[in-house]
């Protein structure tokens, strides 16, 4: 992130100019430089965040206004705006991570049962199960403690994974409507990673819960990027990816082909100049592009 911010700062200086004695620069958009797991999130894009903001005495318009003011503010004032924005996003993140999740609800239920039994302090180091005279009660307390230990371990692992989650729903106020709806981006340009999902560990289990239609454990993570980025675009927006062509030769690629045809209007298909161009890839290319009047298929030399 630091290198990216430095490059942006250099570009701002390169394009700065004087209007009389006043130095004029482009808007400072370093606030848009963010990092995180693009595929992992707590809040769906259709989540209503207006009520969450109201609880913190903030409106959508205030959130958008502070974000806009940051870009043209001076250095010292910008720090104050940055602080306000981070506080807003921190409150939204807290809500996102503490929604009514099955694990949290199960934990709460078990703790309430302990409280009802009179043993809410079971975690105290001086507390011993053998001190419970009634055998049935002792067995129940021990069972609850064992269940809580497992649940807490699962929650800890989940929260560790979600440390890098990226909340697209509210991290970019510029793409929010005045009523708080997520409107989407005009254009997305990217170079997604090409990794087989089954090699990525526990985070894949969380991806599987996000409802990605193109999710296949034997498939490539770039398929999920295609699908998710399509949902991040506004109507009429543009998506451009530098990506592997291996999905055109694999069964899992058919899922994203269907999604692309259903949700997008491909304009062009650029294929690296390679010796092997399989029938499967040719079919996929014809299916994605020439069926659209404006689509073109080219080859990069």
**What's the pLDDT tens digit per position in 192-202?**
988 889 888 88
| 21-30, 101-110, 233-242, 262-271: range with lowest mean pLDDT | 262-271
Q: Both tokens of residue 108?
A: 């709460």
Q: What is the mean pLDDT of residues 99-108?
A: 76
The predicted pLDDT at position 250 comes to 79
The predicted pLDDT at position 292 comes to 36
The 8-class DSSP code of residue 248 comes to G
The predicted pLDDT at position 168 comes to 93
pLDDT digits (tens, 9 = 90+) for 110-134: 888 887 776 655 444 445 555 565 6
Q: How confident is the model at residue 35 (pLDDT cuts 50, 70, 90)?
A: confident
Report the helix count and the strand count for the chain, using DSSP H and E: 11, 6
User: 180 — alpha (psi -120 to 50), left (phi > 0) or beta?
Assistant: left
The predicted pLDDT at position 43 comes to 86
Burial class (CB in 10 A: 0-12, 13-18, 19+), 96: buried
**Non-local CB neighbours of 259 within 8 Å, separated by 6+ positions:** 213, 214, 226, 227, 230
Q: How confident is the model at residue 95 (pLDDT cuts 50, 70, 90)?
A: low
pLDDT digits (tens, 9 = 90+) for 49-73: 888 788 777 889 989 998 888 888 8
Burial string for 62-77 (b: 16+ CB within 10 Å, else e) reads: ebbebbeebbebeeee
Q: Which of 1-15, 21-35, 86-100, 167-181 has the highest mean pLDDT?
A: 167-181
Length of the chain, in residues: 301
On the question of pLDDT at 172 being above 60, the answer is yes
The predicted pLDDT at position 124 comes to 46
Domains and CATH numbers, the chain: 2-98 (no CATH), 102-163 (no CATH), 184-300 (3.40.50.150)
The predicted pLDDT at position 188 comes to 93
The predicted pLDDT at position 233 comes to 93
The predicted pLDDT at position 290 comes to 40
Please tell me which residue, 154 or 224, carries the higher pLDDT value. 224
On the question of pLDDT at 226 being above 80, the answer is yes
Q: Which of 110-114, 148-152, 249-253 has the highest mean pLDDT?
A: 148-152
On the question of pLDDT at 181 being above 90, the answer is yes
Model pTM?
0.71
């Amino acid at each position: 992130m630091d290198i990216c911010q430095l490059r942006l700062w250099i570009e701002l200086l390169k394009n700065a100019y004087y209007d009389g004695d006043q130095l004029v620069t482009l808007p400072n958009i370093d606030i848009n430089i963010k990092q995180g797991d693009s595929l992992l999130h707590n809040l769906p894009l259709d989540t209503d965040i207006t009520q969450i903001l109201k609880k913190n005495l903030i409106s959508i318009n205030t959130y958008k206004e502070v974000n806009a003011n940051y870009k043209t503010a001076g250095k010292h004032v910008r720090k104050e705006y940055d602080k306000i924005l981070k506080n807003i996003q921190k409150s939204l993140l807290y809500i996102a991570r503490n929604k009514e999740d099955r694990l949290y609800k199960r934990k709460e239920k078990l703790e309430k049962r302990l409280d009802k039994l009179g043993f809410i302090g079971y975690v105290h180091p001086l507390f011993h199960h053998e001190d419970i005279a009634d055998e049935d009660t002792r067995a129940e307390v021990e069972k609850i403690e064992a269940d809580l230990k497992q649940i807490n371990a699962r929650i800890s692992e989940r929260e560790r994974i979600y440390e890098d989650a990226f909340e697209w729903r509210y991290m970019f106020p510029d793409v929010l409507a005045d009523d708080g709806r997520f409107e989407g981006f005009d254009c997305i340009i990217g170079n997604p990673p090409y990794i087989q999902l089954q090699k990525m560990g526990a985070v894949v289990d969380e991806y599987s819960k996000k409802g990605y239609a193109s999710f296949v454990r034997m498939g490539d993570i770039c398929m999920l990027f295609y699908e998710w980025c399509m949902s991040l675009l506004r109507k009429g927006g543009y998506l451009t990816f530098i990506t592997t062509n291996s999905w055109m030769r694999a069964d899992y690629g058919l899922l994203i082909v269907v999604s692309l045809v259903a949700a997008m209007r491909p304009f062009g298909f650029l294929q690296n100049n390679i010796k092997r161009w399989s029938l499967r890839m040719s079919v996929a290319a014809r299916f994605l592009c020439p069926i659209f009047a404006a689509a073109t298929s080219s080859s990069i030399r």
